[in-house]
Amino acid sequence: MTRSVVLSSLKYFSLDLVGKVLYWPLWWYTVGFQKLMTITAGNVLEEEHQLGVVLWWKNLFVPMYGQYDWQGRIISFFMRLVIGIARIALLVVWFAFSLTVIVAWVLVLPLAAYFLWINVLYAFDIAWWPYA
């Protein structure tokens, strides 16, 4: 009885595993990719909120520290411009990083497959293109 339960469970597990493995590439480029995009977008928006880029640019013409005289306004405008650009630069870096992750996600499987192929051919010392 115990043996049969163990065997049937393992059988069930194996079949389930096969199913999962078959679904994995499909998931990678559909549901998984969608999730990645959602998470990345969330992270970028979070970073934007942290840096306050939009908030900063919205207040470009509002004097800093409540200095409403014309000197204050001018200094404040240039200060905000410089810091605003710096913050955008930081956000761009973050965005670039996120983009890299997305590209890596898309490319990882074909690249790995390609290099695996190359390495397997090498291991068995077979020319991958017999007519070369």
Partner 1 sequence: MGEKHAKLVTRFACPTCRGIGVQGAQRCRTCGGRGTIGRQGDLMLYWGRPIDYRHLAQRHVIAIAQYTVVTILLGFAALGVGGLLWQLILLDQYGVPLWRFWEQQNIWMLTFWWSLVVDSYLVYHFSQEYAKIQHIPRRARRGVTGAAAPPTSWETALQVRRGQTVNLSDLYTAEAIAAVEKSWEFAASSRHHAVAPLHLLVALLQFPAMTEMFVRLGAPFTRLNRLVTGALPRYAVPTGNALTFDAEYFEALFSAYEEAWSRQQKKVDLSELLVACVTTSEVVRDVLYDVKIDTDAIHNVAAWFRVRREQRARYHHLRSRTSYRPRRTTMDRAMTAVATPALDSFSQDLTQLARAGYLEPCLGRDHEVTEIFRIFSAGGRQNIVLVGNPGIGKRTIVNGVAQLMVAEDVPKFMQDKRLVSLSVARLISGVTASVAEERLLHCLNEAARSRNIILFINDVSKMVGISPGGSASLDLAGALAQALTQTGLRAITTALPTDYSRYVENHLLGQVLEKMNIEEPEGNDAIQILEAKVGAIEANYHVYFTYEAIAQAVKLSGRYLHDRFLPEKAIEVLDESAVRTLNEKGRDSSVTGQDVALTVSEKTGIPLTEVTQQESAKLLNLEQEIHQRMVDQEEAVKLVSAAIRRARAELRDVRRPIVNLLFLGPTGVGKTELAKIVASVYFGRASELIRLDMSEYQEKSSVNRLLGAPAGFEGHGEGGYLTEAVRHHPFALLLLDEIEKAHPDILNLFLQVMDDGRLTDAVGRTVDFTNVILIATSNACTPTIQRLTAAGVSVAEVKAKLLSGELQQHFRPEFLNRFDSVVVFKPLGMPEVQKIARLMLQEVGKRLLEKGVSLQPTDAAIDELATAGYDPEFGARPLRRVIQERVDDAIATKILGGELERRDTIILDVGGRVTIKKPARRA
Q: Which of 32, 47, 84, 106 binds partner 1 (CB under 8 A)?
A: 32
**Residue 99 engages partner 1 in binding (rule: CB under 8 A):** no
Distance from first CA to last CA of the chain, Å, rounded? 60
> What is the Cα–Cα distance from 62 to 79, expressed in whole angstroms?
11
The answer to whether 56 touches 87, Cβ cutoff 8 Å, is yes
**Residue 84 engages partner 1 in binding (rule: CB under 8 A):** no
Q: Which of 27, 33, 77, 94 binds partner 1 (CB under 8 A)?
A: 27
From the list 114, 96, 99, 122, the residue with the least C-alpha distance to 37 is: 99
The answer to whether 33 touches 105, Cβ cutoff 8 Å, is yes
Q: Which of 9, 34, 38, 100 binds partner 1 (CB under 8 A)?
A: 9
Q: Which residues bind partner 1 (CB under 8 A)?
A: 2, 5-6, 8-10, 12-13, 17, 20-21, 24, 27-28, 32, 35, 49-50, 52, 55-56, 58-59, 62-66, 108-109, 111-113, 115-116, 118-120, 122-123
